[in-house]
Amino acid sequence: MLTIVAFVAALGLLIAVHEYGHYRIAIACGVKVLRFSVGFGRVLYRWKPRRPRPGQDTEFVIGVFPVGGYVKMLDEREGPVEPEERDRAFNTQPLRSRAAIVAAGPLANLLLAVLLYATVNWYGVEEAKAVLASPVAGSVAAASGLRGGETVEQAGFEGDSLHAMRSFEDLRWLLTQAALDGHDVRMQFVREGERGRDEAVLPLSQLASREADAQLFRSIGILGPWTPAVLGDVMPGAAERAGLKKGDVVTAVDGKPVVDGQQLRDVIRMSVRDGRPASQSWRVRRGAEALDVTVVPDAVQDGTATIGRIGAFVGARPEFVTVRYGPVEGLWKGAQRTWEVSVLTLRMIGRMVVGQASLKNLSGPLTIADYAGKSASLGLTQYLMFLALISVSLGVLNLLPLPVLDGGHLMYYLWEAVTGKGVSDTWMERLQRGGVAVLLVMMTIALFNDVTRLFG
């Protein structure tokens, strides 16, 4: 139920903001707006303002299907217009006014994203501290000399200035951008018990993968923040058979010291050899007592690989910090994050078009609904960040030069500005059909990806 409510609320807000952008600039340009609709299909509710704007008689409508919306303006191409109102029709407006009205919808979504990110920055959010877990064996991080337990203070692209890493999410975002864009990352960190600051360079430009998935982060080697190697709830399985209990701290496996939960998880995963799990000798601290325990993980199938599992949660909650910014800095950070997400979205779309990135990156309504429910269950700040991300995506996608989108209409106006004449009706019809076909293909792929992710 929470998923449905969160999804519908998100769609309603983002669509309303998008259409309000069109509506508000149309009013400012003197265009008469006939209807403002959020949703399609049968009308659930309609009303008119008691005190309408001068020269306006707009009907506001909420439709039964909240999957889109529209602003219907007075237009000679859609019906007869009285001579005295012709100067208030959309099609009679100067080119700059028509372009401003069309662009206002996507820009409204981008502005909403700035405000949402800024609100989170002002309110503050609990995020994991930028302390690194043990790197994955054979990864870029491991080859760069990282061992786990490093507190990253500053990081940035190699050759650029470094920025403070207030949380692990700051670092994860930097690594994502660097890996997808082919940049190396330089980071400065301190290790517990050691004096002075160390530095490492992660050559992420050498990674062959350009997909923002779990495999990319395994290649980088930094999967999450540092957590102690302590056991959580123990379920039926290898851990229970070995006599392990919740709260046990694992200090060594087969004589090798265990630094953190990530290292222990990797040791368990890699315990399967030739389809059979190998016996492991664990050194465990239970309160003030030290125990030696023999553990034989269970072999389970994970996709195409066979890995080890023990039937217990491994790793405790990482150390968290509250990340909060002042009024001006919070707003600037919100604008900066909106710009970065917009650029990253465009680059990923470009890579998918030229075949450098998989179409599996496309997500549809099922995935969005799933994320809406999950983010809402985690609290207000997580839900606001989800809304900001979807708002950026909606704004960027609508600016793409596809004929049925706002970007397509801006493309027509660019042609008109260059040639001095509008696109002919014949070409307009052809382009519209092509745009609909492209959108249908994209929607089909996105829905297929949704079903594969959620039910595959």
Give the whole-angstrom CA distance, residue 437 versus residue 360.
19
Half-sphere exposure of 64 (CA within 13 A, CB side): 4
Give the whole-angstrom CA distance, residue 400 versus residue 261.
44
Q: Which two tokens stand for residue 352?
A: 């998918």
Q: Which two tokens stand for residue 330?
A: 């919070």
Question: What is the predicted pLDDT for the residue at 456?
Answer: 58
Question: What is the predicted pLDDT for the residue at 310?
Answer: 92
Length in residues, the chain:
456
In terms of pTM, does the model score above 0.85? no
Give the whole-angstrom CA distance, residue 337 versus residue 123.
16
In sequence order, the 6+-apart residues with CB closer than 8 A to the CB of 365 are 7, 67, 446, 447, 450
- Residue 397's φ and ψ, nearest 5 degrees, are -60, -40
The enclosing H or E element of 157 equals strand 150-157
Give the whole-angstrom CA distance, residue 138 versus residue 221.
8
Going along the chain from its start, the domains and CATH numbers come out as: 97-123+326-456 (no CATH), 140-220 (2.30.42.10), 231-317 (2.30.42.10)
Distances from the Cα of 18 to the Cα of 98, 269, 346, 426, angstroms: 16, 47, 19, 29
Q: Which two tokens stand for residue 377?
A: 């269950």
Give the whole-angstrom CA distance, residue 85 versus residue 32.
9
In sequence order, the 6+-apart residues with CB closer than 8 A to the CB of 2 are 373, 376, 377
pLDDT tens digits along 342-371: 988 888 888 777 776 667 777 766 677 776
Give the whole-angstrom CA distance, residue 92 versus residue 279.
80
**Is 78 marked active-site?**
no
Give the whole-angstrom CA distance, residue 337 versus residue 176.
13
Distances from the Cα of 29 to the Cα of 24, 102, 349, angstroms: 9, 12, 33
Cβ–Cβ < 8 Å for 422, 338: no
pLDDT tens digits along 120-132: 999 988 889 999 9
Give the whole-angstrom CA distance, residue 279 versus residue 27.
74
Question: What is the predicted pLDDT for the residue at 3?
Answer: 77
SS (H, E, C) 192-241: CCCCCCEEEEECHHHCCCCCCCHHHHHHHCCCCECCCCEEEEECCCHHHH
Give the whole-angstrom CA distance, residue 86 versus residue 437.
34
Give the whole-angstrom CA distance, residue 202 versus residue 11.
39
Q: Which two tokens stand for residue 89?
A: 């029709």
- Distance between terminal CA atoms of the chain? 22
Q: From the candidates 19, 82, 126, 153, give the one annotated as an active-site residue.
A: 19
Measured CA angle at 304 (ends 313, 279), to 5 deg: 50
Torsion sign, CA atoms 434, 437, 441, 446: positive
Nearest to 242 by CA among 283, 289, 287, 300: 283
**Residue 159 CB burial class (10 angstroms; 0-12, 13-18, ≥19):** exposed
Give the whole-angstrom CA distance, residue 454 versus residue 456.
6
Q: Which residues of the chain have pLDDT under 50?
A: none
SS3 label, residue 252? strand
The enclosing H or E element of 62 equals strand 59-73
Cβ–Cβ < 8 Å for 147, 257: no
Distances from the Cα of 243 to the Cα of 5, 240, 255, 269, 388, angstroms: 44, 5, 19, 20, 47
Q: What is the DSSP letter of 139?
A: S
Q: Which two tokens stand for residue 71?
A: 């602003």
